[in-house]
Structure 1
Amino acid sequence: MVGAGFSGAVLGRELANAGHRVTVIDTRNHVAGNCHTERDPDTGVMVHVYGPHIFHTDDTAVWEYVQGFGAFEPYRNRVKATARGQVFSLPINLHTINQFYGKTMNPEEARAFIEAQADTSITNPQTFEEQALRFVGPDLYETFFKGYTQKQWGCSPTELPASILKRLPVRFNYDDNYFKHVHQGMPRDGYTTLVERMLDHPAIELRLNTEFTPELGAGYDHVFWSGPLDGYFGYRLGRLGYRTLDFERVIGDGDLQGCAVMNYGDADVAYTRTTEHKHFSPWEEHEASVLYRESARACTPDDIPYYPIRLVEEKALLGEYVSLAESTQGVTFVGRLGTYRYLDMDVTIREALDTAEAFKTALAAGERPAVFARPPLG
């Protein structure tokens, strides 16, 4: 298993349970990948080192699976947004609409009002901007989405596909829970402890601070690769595009912003959001606090990749790497980096569980295991 994040940990555990001997390696000095959590040395707050991760899913089997490795506490992600000198509630809901327009509309009045703001001439939105204008009209788009999106993706919303905005709901009630999934929570002891427990099996050997080499891989029956797809091939066709994140740390006493996540929609604010991590563990008490200002930029070879860009140029290169991968023996590409897709944690775990089952089935039938857990271009 190349990578000790959720993909490698779940696959490793499932195959170890099935009687295989498994080695999990990672170049970092910790497990859990970008979900890694640790105690801040100055405040004692449980910090999400690579940015916050909230577990949310409608997949009851996955929810029950992760709880087998540690207790989860209830958590609701209630995001705020600072824009045009005010603080609003996200996702856009009835309170946001009434506050923004200085009205007291009920749900049906607000629905009709927003539809009147929308550009109904756009019948088949192709870009992020067209989708937003058709969805909420120019005022809400420019306040909450345009500047934030430019900072997050480093390009105009006219260059991004409409599908990105389909993840962002508008509600005509006062529900400010960012996610709508039936199961939502946080691991009480942090994600790293959760993954450590997944890897705690006599048939699993964990090697941190370890680089993968072809020579290392040759010593095993099969390799599961959750690193960058292009990285497996030494970037021989070029590098796939990613966005990365920079974090500016601020510590202080008490409560620094009053919520876990504050988005900044104005384009002239350099960062996209601030996250105060004590609020991700509301069952704990801390006198001090730690906050991070988060900024996105283009990923360089020395950076940690976060979000696959997947625009036209990247998809063309991805197609070439997929063809190369499909001609390769003895490896299965999994996870966010291995399949060059944006994946939430629950989907990552579901795909790892399904991949383990498919691998066992293929071995039993004497067939070649699948190269991809899920086709990147599917």
Structure 2
Amino acid sequence: MTSEKLLLVGAGLSGAVIGRTLAEAGYRVTVIDTRSHVGGNCHTERDPASGVMVHVYGPHIFHTDDAGVWDYVNHFARFLPYKNQVKTTTGGAVYSLPINLHTINQFFGRTLRPDEAAAFIEELADTGIETPESFEQQALRFVGRDLYEAFLKGYTMKQWGCAPSELPASILKRLPVRFTYDDNYFFHRFQGMPEDGYTAMIARILDHPGLRVLLDTPFEPGMAQDFSHVFYAGPLDGWFGYDAGRLGYRTLDFERFCARGDWQGCAVMNYGDVSVPWTRITEHKYFAPWERHEATVCYREYSRAAEPGDIPYYPVRLVAEKALLGEYAARAAAAERVTFVGRLGTYRYLDMDVTIREAMETAAAFLASRTAGKAMPAFVHAPL
């Protein structure tokens, strides 16, 4: 065992995977988190009244094509099959998402075959838009105005708090259109849910004799001097005390309610109409379809701009945020004995599988740097 002591700030996926890997390599690792539980925003817990496993900070569904990551999480949890089949209520009717052959036929009152539907949508598409620059232009080019306004416009306005014409076209690349009846929201080879929830899985990752976990412990700058290196999964701008301003995030408010029986018959129901203030309702017992519960726990989900003290969920990354990010990233690159990791540390939207893969790569980079006698960089995965 080495005499080096390492500090991991954040007991979510990044901190857990990096901490476990380096503890197994013989380092003395301390993981701290300001919250009273491990798991970060992936935290799950049983509702004592109903027994439902609740995704406390909103639903997290594991999906990946990375076989190595899939093997890793299955080492610490038993994953059971789960297919994310999202529904949406818009214009007084319920449809399936992503937009697929059933959605198209139902919306337009047709009985189109796949090739007919593809040709039909191409006729609706605005082919005059050769190089879409905004979310709105991308949508109009892909699916035309009717589908855009029914399924994408209102939801996007509520989620991001601005007109789709102000958002980059790249955001829409996460929303496929299918000309089959496949309503599986994701297309990855491996999809599932941990049988005992994410918190139990992450607690097992952190369960190592060379690793100490301190909860209810906010990071203070003076802590770094007691460790040879810090892996920081907190907000990048927070490392600098937000002295140049705060990077923009969207946060979520949850209105929790309970009922007997079933509420909506599915895990996720989006609401596309702007007149409905929430973006979606999630019914948590449907995230564990192998369980049976007589009662149910639901969240109405509202999106708004994050303010100081709010939990940051989605980095905005528009022009102003990218300029400020560039300033903070340059300062971070000059910092010593600290590496910024994860969604908050690199100010990027990351799925769980990518977070784990990057954490594995960061730990490997640290071990390689120590072997080579070189300094560990501030970013293994650059924010820009």
TM-score norm. by structure 1 comes to 0.99
Aligned-CA RMSD value? 0.5
For 1:190, the equivalent position in structure 2 comes to: 197
- Alpha carbons 1:79, 1:178 under 8 Å: kept: yes
What is the letter of the counterpart of residue 143 of structure 2? V
Over the matched positions of the two proteins, sequence identity in percent amounts to: 68
Given candidates 311, 327, 330, the residue that maps to 1:323 is 330
Given candidates 233, 237, 246, the residue that maps to 1:239 is 246
Alpha-carbon distance, 1:234 to partner: 0.4
SS at match of 1:63: helix
Structure 2: unaligned runs, 5 residues or longer: 1-7
Deviations 1:29-55 (A, max 9, x none): 000000000011221100000000000
Aligned residues: 377
For 1:347, the equivalent position in structure 2 comes to: 354
- Return the alpha-carbon distance in structure 1 between the equivalents of residues 187 and 352 of structure 2: 15
Given candidates 209, 212, 224, the residue that maps to 1:217 is 224
1:11 aligned to 2:18?
yes
* Moved >4 Å (runs of 4+): none
5 Å-filtered alignment, 1:224-303, equals 224-303=231-310
Alpha-carbon distance, 1:302 to partner: 1.1
5 Å-filtered alignment, 1:69-148, equals 69-148=76-155
What is the letter of the counterpart of residue 46 of structure 2? R
Deviations 1:209-239 (A, max 9, x none): 0011122111001000000000011001100
- Return the alpha-carbon distance in structure 1 between the equivalents of residues 292 and 163 of structure 2: 42
What is the letter of the counterpart of residue 41 of structure 1? P
What is the letter of the counterpart of residue 368 of structure 2? T
What is the letter of the counterpart of residue 92 of structure 1? I
SS at match of 2:172: helix
What is the letter of the counterpart of residue 319 of structure 1? G
What is the letter of the counterpart of residue 282 of structure 1? P
Alpha-carbon distance, 1:131 to partner: 0.1
SS at match of 2:234: coil
- Return the alpha-carbon distance in structure 2 between the equivalents of residues 284 and 370 of structure 1: 45
- Return the alpha-carbon distance in structure 1 between the equivalents of residues 373 and 275 of structure 2: 59
- Return the alpha-carbon distance in structure 1 between the equivalents of residues 168 and 221 of structure 2: 37
For 1:61, the equivalent position in structure 2 comes to: 68
- Return the alpha-carbon distance in structure 1 between the equivalents of residues 226 and 220 of structure 2: 10
For 1:356, the equivalent position in structure 2 comes to: 363
SS at match of 1:124: coil
Given candidates 13, 30, 33, the residue that maps to 1:26 is 33
Alpha-carbon distance, 1:339 to partner: 0.2
SS at match of 1:218: helix
- Return the alpha-carbon distance in structure 1 between the equivalents of residues 322 and 229 of structure 2: 27
What is the letter of the counterpart of residue 59 of structure 1? D
What is the letter of the counterpart of residue 207 of structure 1? L
- Return the alpha-carbon distance in structure 2 between the equivalents of residues 162 and 19 of structure 1: 46
- Alpha carbons 1:352, 1:373 under 8 Å: kept: no
1:336 aligned to 2:348?
no
Deviations 1:135-176 (A, max 9, x none): 000000000000000000000001000000001000000000
TM-score norm. by structure 2 comes to 0.98
- Return the alpha-carbon distance in structure 2 between the equivalents of residues 115 and 41 of structure 1: 51
Alpha-carbon distance, 1:373 to partner: 2.6
What is the letter of the counterpart of residue 282 of structure 2? T
- Return the alpha-carbon distance in structure 2 between the equivalents of residues 36 and 340 of structure 1: 20
- Return the alpha-carbon distance in structure 2 between the equivalents of residues 205 and 232 of structure 1: 22
- Alpha carbons 1:143, 1:266 under 8 Å: kept: yes
- Return the alpha-carbon distance in structure 1 between the equivalents of residues 379 and 59 of structure 2: 28
Deviations 1:334-362 (A, max 9, x none): 00000000000000000000000011000
- Return the alpha-carbon distance in structure 2 between the equivalents of residues 193 and 131 of structure 1: 40
Alpha-carbon distance, 1:327 to partner: 0.8
What is the letter of the counterpart of residue 236 of structure 1? D
Deviations 1:100-139 (A, max 9, x none): 0000000000000000000000000000000000000000
Deviations 1:236-288 (A, max 9, x none): 11000000000011101111100000000000100000000000001111000
